[in-house]
């Protein structure tokens, strides 16, 4: 196969995947549009795809909205494959890298590589796509259309190793044609437990390099059997310009939340509620049970507090109200004389553009997770200058300090009892310590604000997009120079 034909296949498959991802996300009233789209997908002419994409996404034709990009003339290509359309953890992380790299490369006089993206590794969400800012959607269209010559391409497989070539589930394989046709192949992944499975170790060792976000992961990957020479720490960036508290007014959080327990303080009451916020997908690992137990034991309606949970299903139903009520009943917690402290659930989609406003509406962020790969909501809250209470184990140990947060102690390690990581260990955060820290944050407002301000400073100094993009560019340049 000629290099030109190979580059065309990579290019056209990227567009094909994007259309499939978006088309399958449309609702039932768009059925005939989807069928018409599928019938048209046998065309591989770039102009056809470009115009159809612009029509579907209601965005300007990239050729008309962007001036010629000198980066596109760079000899080498970095093809970043990730679940860009899913809205999950890997999705938000991949976007943070790509946006940081794209901006950083503009500042270089002669970039040595160009950037391309492809959807891979997870389900797609039209809701998430439509919640992205328009400039990011325009960029996505352009990067999906970047042409790469296969023998000059560095592939980044940004997903869990089960999605890597050959994938263990239905997804576009990464790397697309196996490991030997490309210039270099990088696996970008992370885990929330104390080790890797033997299957994941084998898949990591097939890669030319494995990028992990923290020292915690360097240790667990090497101890599990991944070649130490292949493991490289590449921290995550946080968009400190987007997550900047000075730019936003608070979201009307009361109108978004559904009251599950307690009673909201009337608007006529001059006392303002103290708002705790937690953001997570509904799974045991996230420690929602620990959070509810600590919060409901520590506070009552007399304390003037409210806990907002922004959550979404993870292999579960959406009836979070019933799950919470059932948990409280099963836990045999004694209802305070004056009633439960308020708990509200936000289970509707909050668009990416509105997330900073959500954090701005809170007084503190709390997440007693049993294990995190990185913890994107945590660093987002820290960039927004919120005091943060979160478990001092796994990914967050990369950025938590006594000066910038309230690290939550761990009582013990416990065994994972189900799922692919059954038998592994993760943390059991202390319920008693969480109660004390939540009370402490309310009682020590000035100290909490100071920690929040220090958190933002640390995010800017260590994890701002330009800092991390510089690190990544250095790693890629070293690969090219070899």
Confidence of residue 314 (pLDDT cuts 50, 70, 90): low
pLDDT for position 229? 98
Q: Give the pTM.
A: 0.84
How far, in Å, CA of 457 to CA of 79, rounded? Answer: 32
3-237+465-481 and 245-463 agree in CATH topology: yes
Q: Where are the beta strands (DSSP E) in 215-325?
A: 231-233, 258-261, 274-282, 305-313
Is 245-463 CATH 3.40.50.10860? no
Distances (CA, A) of 201 to 171, 189, 195, 218, 317: 20, 12, 10, 13, 32
Structural domain boundaries of the chain? Answer: 3-237+465-481, 245-463
70 compared with 458, residue with greater pLDDT: 458
Mean pLDDT across the chain: 86
Return left, alpha or beta for 287; rule: phi > 0 is left, psi -120 to 50 is alpha, else beta. Answer: left
Return left, alpha or beta for 458; rule: phi > 0 is left, psi -120 to 50 is alpha, else beta. Answer: alpha
| pLDDT tens, position by position, 289-308 | 999 999 999 999 999 999 99
Average pLDDT score over residue span 320-333: 94
Indicate if the pLDDT at residue 90 is higher than 50. Answer: yes
3-237+465-481 fold: Rossmann fold (3.40.50)
Q: Where are the beta strands (DSSP E) in 283-361?
A: 305-313, 342-346
| pLDDT tens, position by position, 157-213 | 999 999 999 999 989 999 998 998 999 999 999 999 999 999 999 999 999 999 999
| pLDDT tens, position by position, 109-137 | 889 999 999 999 988 888 888 888 889 99
DSSP 324-370: HHHHHHHHTPPPPTT-BPEEEEE-SPPPGGGHHHHHHT-SEEEE--S
The two structure tokens encoding residue 401: 């300090």
| pLDDT tens, position by position, 360-409 | 999 999 999 999 999 999 999 999 999 999 999 999 999 999 999 999 99
pLDDT for position 265? 59
């Amino acid at each position: 196969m000629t290099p030109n034909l190979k580059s065309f296949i990579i290019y056209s498959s990227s567009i094909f995947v994007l259309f499939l991802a978006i088309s399958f996300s449309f609702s039932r009233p768009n059925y005939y549009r989807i069928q018409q789209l599928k019938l048209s997908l046998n065309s591989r002419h770039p102009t056809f795809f470009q115009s159809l994409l612009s029509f579907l996404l209601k965005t300007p034709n990239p050729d008309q909205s962007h001036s010629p990009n000198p980066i596109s003339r760079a000899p080498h290509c970095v093809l970043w494959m990730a679940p860009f359309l899913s809205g999950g953890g890997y999705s938000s992380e991949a976007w943070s890298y790509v946006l940081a790299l794209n901006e950083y490369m503009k500042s270089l006089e002669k970039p040595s590589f160009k950037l391309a993206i492809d959807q891979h590794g997870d389900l797609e969400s039209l809701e998430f796509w439509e919640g992205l800012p328009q400039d990011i959607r325009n960029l996505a269209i352009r990067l999906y259309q970047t042409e790469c010559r296969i023998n000059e391409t560095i592939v980044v497989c940004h997903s869990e190793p089960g999605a890597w070539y050959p994938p263990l589930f239905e997804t576009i394989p990464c790397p697309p044609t196996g490991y030997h046709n490309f210039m270099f192949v990088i696996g970008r992944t992370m885990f929330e437990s104390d080790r890797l499975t033997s299957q994941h170790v084998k898949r990591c060792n097939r890669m030319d390099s494995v990028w992990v976000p923290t020292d915690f992961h360097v240790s667990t990957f090497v101890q599990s059997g991944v070649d130490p020479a292949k493991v490289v720490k590449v921290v995550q960036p946080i968009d400190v310009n987007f997550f900047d508290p000075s730019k936003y007014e608070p979201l009307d959080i009361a109108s978004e939340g559904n009251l599950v327990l307690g009673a909201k303080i009337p608007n006529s009451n001059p006392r303002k509620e103290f708002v705790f916020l937690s953001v997570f997908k509904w799974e045991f690992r996230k420690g929602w049970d620990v959070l509810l137990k600590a919060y409901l034991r520590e506070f009552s309606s007399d304390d003037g507090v409210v806990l907002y949970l922004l959550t979404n299903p993870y292999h579960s139903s959406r009836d979070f109200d019933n799950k919470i009520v059932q948990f409280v009943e099963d836990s045999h917690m004694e209802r305070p004389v004056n009633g439960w402290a308020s708990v509200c659930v936000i289970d509707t989609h909050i668009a990416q553009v509105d997330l900073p406003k959500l954090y701005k509406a809170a007084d503190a962020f709390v997440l007693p997770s049993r294990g995190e790969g990185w913890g994107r909501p945590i660093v987002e809250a820290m960039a927004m200058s919120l005091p943060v209470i979160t478990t001092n184990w796994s990914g967050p140990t990369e950025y938590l300090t006594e000066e910038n947060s309230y690290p939550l102690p761990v009582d013990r390690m416990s065994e994972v009892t189900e799922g692919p990581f059954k038998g592994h260990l993760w943390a059991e955060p202390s319920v008693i310590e969480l109660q004390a820290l939540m009370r402490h944050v309310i009682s020590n407002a000035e100290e909490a604000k100071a920690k929040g301000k220090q958190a933002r400073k640390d995010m800017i100094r260590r994890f701002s997009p330009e800092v991390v993009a510089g690190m990544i560019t250095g790693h890629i340049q070293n690969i090219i120079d070899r």
